[in-house]
Amino acid sequence: MKRFLLFLPLVVALGIGAFALWGLWADRNPKEVPSALISKPAPEFDLPPIPGVDVPGLKRADLTAGGPPVLVNVFASWCVPCKAEHAVLSRLVKEKGVVLYGINYKNKAEDARNWLADLGNPYSRIGFDLSGRVAIEWGLTGVPETFIVRGDGTVVYRYVGPIVGADAQKKVMSALREAGWKEAGK
């Protein structure tokens, strides 16, 4: 017992050191804050479509209709990382058959229209959130941000930042599968 007490200060110091090291760890992202929405129902909202874009708007009822889990992606034409992410999202829709909804955040209709015409529109529904109020309902901290919503309208996952690179895609895909999503034809 006495022997053990002798080492106690060392153990405590190592513990504090490990905690400090964790704080300085380069791979740790201090901006990664868990969303308050996880395992909660999607917020109440009803957004009109972007004027002049031929996909319907987005409202809560669209997320509670049952069916496979969907991606809800918050994007804007002025957001550069969104452009990088756009190719990934398009591929997920085209090749894997993922259902993708969009919330167009604080974007002029014309800019959003041009952006989608330019890059293509992978979204099957887009809500036009000019004031950014609905984004606050979703607890948005920046664009882009992507949520996974189950067929019953429960938010199960959030990805902050662009889904670019193998790691990010793997994370999102495994979260999708965990939410009950199955790749078409498998």
Partner 1 sequence: MRRLRFLVAAILIGVAPILSLAVEPDEILDDPVLEARAREISAQVRCVVCQNESIDTSNAGIARDLRILIRERLVAGDTDQEIFDFLVARYGDFVLLKPPFKPETWALWFAPFVIAAAGAAGIFVLVRRVNRRAAAGPGQLSEEELAQIEKIIQNEKAEADS
Residues that bind partner 1 (CB under 8 A): 30-31, 33-37, 43, 106, 131-133, 135-142
The Cα 116–Cα 177 span in angstroms is: 28
Closest CB 183 distance from partner 1, rounded Å: 32
124: amino acid identity, one letter: S
Looking at beta carbons only, is 101 or 138 nearer to partner 1? 138
**Location of structure tokens 């919330």:** 103
Query: Which residue stretches of 40-96 are H helix?
Result: 60-63, 80-96
Token code pair at residue 145: 């941000």
Closest CB 135 distance from partner 1, rounded Å: 8
Closest CB 49 distance from partner 1, rounded Å: 22
Closest CB 96 distance from partner 1, rounded Å: 30
Looking at beta carbons only, is 38 or 168 nearer to partner 1? 38
Cβ neighbours of residue 180 closer than 8 Å, sequence gap 6 or more = 68, 69, 150, 151
Looking at beta carbons only, is 59 or 119 nearer to partner 1? 59
